[in-house]
Amino acid sequence: MTAHLPVLIVVLPLAAAVIVPLISLASAKAAFAVACLTLAAAAVASCKALSHVLAHGALRYELGGWAPPWGIEYVVDPLSGGVAALIALIAVCVVVYAGPQVNGGSSARGGMFHGLFLLLVTGLLGIVLTGDMFNLYVFLEISSLAAYALLASGGIRGTVATFRYLIVGTIAATFYLLGTGYLYALTGTLNMADMAVRLTAVMDTRAYGVAVVLIVIGLAIKAALFPLHGWLPDAYTYAPAPVTGFIAAVMAKVSAYALFRVLYFVTPAEGASAQALMLLGWVSVIAVLAGSILAMAQQDIRRMLAYSSVGQMGYIVLGFALGTPAALIGSLLHLFGHAVMKGCLFLAVGGIRWRTGIYRISDYAGMGRRMPLTMAAFVVAALAMIGLPPTLGFFSKWYLLSGAVEAGAWLFVIALVLSSLLGIVYFFRVFEFAYLKAPEAGQPTPPRQELPLHMLAPILVLTAAVLVFGLLNQQVVGGIIRHALPGALAP
């Protein structure tokens, strides 16, 4: 059974993605239940695989019995297992939040939503677990296509934003595919482990350099790294709340994961990839600052959070660029932490819009009394984004900072500190409106309108995770992340 876990994690949601829309024609509730159970099963399977891997070493699965390097291989190592568990667990939270009737639509539309959502999760889990460069492309497209459909379901502006994302995303995927083609031409293999061995012989060729550049650009667009982030704010802003909550939490992270996988596990450490990382470092410094500054300028809270994501992706890539153990731990911890925090924020903000129709920051007056629990969750997650102890966000920032201090990268240090200060500005602006401004005089005081339990519970679970994993971050770092570092840096 354990031997089949790597493929089960991917196949379960894939199968359910086909069945759920059909079931929904009969019963929306049944379809919802199947979707929930499938994702829960995927989450259990990935956690089980992760704990197995941590105890006994990487799990490899040969798809269809074809041995690598010819066949496609699925690999669960501490890195991919950890990210897969994160995706699956957040997916469970989001599907519960979405509930059986998404946006009050018909049951058939609800079924389509759940089907597409399962397909998106399949794609993301596939990207993480595959050990094959081309297979990664396939899953990248599966997840993207599902995401386009989901994002476009948010009304006319969502459709326009998604069309833009479709074009940009397709270009990004093409970049990645071209790069992979070059590498295939150079090495004759698509298996990552095999390619890593063979690339050392050809690392001085110009074609290799071009391949690295193409792959890095493609994945950087997908990860919305400034200045390639243009598609993200609109796409996040106009999509339905559960979709944004999930995509903002994990989708860009998975692209960052792919970047990490390629640059640290496939390409040789010196040469083109080192230069690419150095360049990414400088770009990410700009991303960290630009994202925060743009976030300050927003009136729409969803756009504010979206730009904040652009800045936070900079944090993650910045750690990759520094490359010291502390910095990489910081990046991976932030990859995990930001997924939880940003997921929580978007779900809270989406819930507020769903309940009250409010999405402009200036309309948040009195929200602290109208939806106290949702706003409390928002506050905790926002403090974590700023990086105040003892939240998860503080500890990832700590590792990034200490990595930067160890490396003597003072500009990075300054960028990280400045970004926290800017974060204080844009998040406390929301707090001021929500808690200190009374609703306009003459208006009746709005009643308490807390979210229904199925929406509130996932938000509170994520909030608790922000605090609990903050205090227990050493368990995450020592138990999983240290083992997920590339071979030369692992303990």
Partner 1 sequence: MSHYPLLAVLVSLLAAGAILLSDRRPNVREAWTFVAAAVKFLLVVSMLPTVLAGGVIEATYAELLPGWSLHLRADLFGLIFALLAAGLWILTSIYSVGYMRAGHYTHQTGYFASFAVCLSATMGIAFAGNLITFFLFYEMLTLATYPLVVHDRTEEAVAAGRKYLAYTLGAGQLLLLAIVAIAVLAPGAAFQPGGFLMGKAPLGVLGLVFVLGLIGVGAKAAIMPLHSWLPAAMVAPTPVSALLHAVAVVKAGTFGCLRLVHYVFGVDLLRAMGADTVLAVAAALTILLASVRALGEQNLKRRLAYSTVSQLSYIVLGAALGSTAAVAGAMFHIVAHGFMKITLFFCAGAIYVKTHKLEIPDLAGLGRQMPITFGAFTLGALGLAGTPLFVGFISKWNLGMGALQSGQAVFLAVFVASGILNFAYFFPIVYTAFFGRPGQAMRFDEVGAALWAPLAATAVVSLILGIYPNAGLQFYHLAWSAAESVMAGAGQALAGGGTP
Residues that bind partner 1 (CB under 8 A): 383, 388-390, 395, 398, 401-402, 405-406, 413, 417, 420-421, 424, 428, 432, 435-438, 471-474
Q: Which is nearer to partner 1, 193 or 407 (CB)?
A: 407
Q: How far is CA 11 from the centre of its chain?
A: 21
Contact 353, 245 (CB under 8 A): no
Nearer to partner 1, 57 or 390 (CB): 390
Closest by CA position to 256, among listed 414, 422, 86? 86
Instruction: Provide the minimum distance between the beta carbon of 387 and partner 1 in the complex, in angstroms, as a whole number.
Output: 8
Q: To the nearest whole angstrom, how small is the minimum distance from the Cβ of residue 359 to partner 1?
A: 23
Whichever of 185 and 472 has its CB closer to partner 1, that residue is: 472
Based on CB atoms, which residue is closest to partner 1, 211 or 341? 341
Which CB, 170 or 402, lies closer to partner 1?
402
Q: Shortest distance, CB of residue 490 to partner 1, whole angstroms?
A: 15
Query: In whole angstroms, how close is the CB of 349 to partner 1 at the nearest point?
Result: 21
Q: Cα-flanking dihedrals φ and ψ of residue 116, to 5°?
A: -65, -40
CB of 395 to partner 1, least distance (A): 7
**C-beta of 47 vs 424, nearer to partner 1:** 424
Comparing C-alpha atoms, which of 105, 204, 215 is closest to residue 154? 105
Smallest gap from Cβ 401 to partner 1, in A, equals 5
If the CB atoms of residues 275 and 475 are measured against partner 1, the closer one turns out to be 475
Q: How far is the CB of 137 from partner 1 (least distance, A)?
A: 38
Closest CB 369 distance from partner 1, rounded Å:
10
Q: Give whichever of 318 and 383 is closer to partner 1, judged by the CB atom.
A: 383
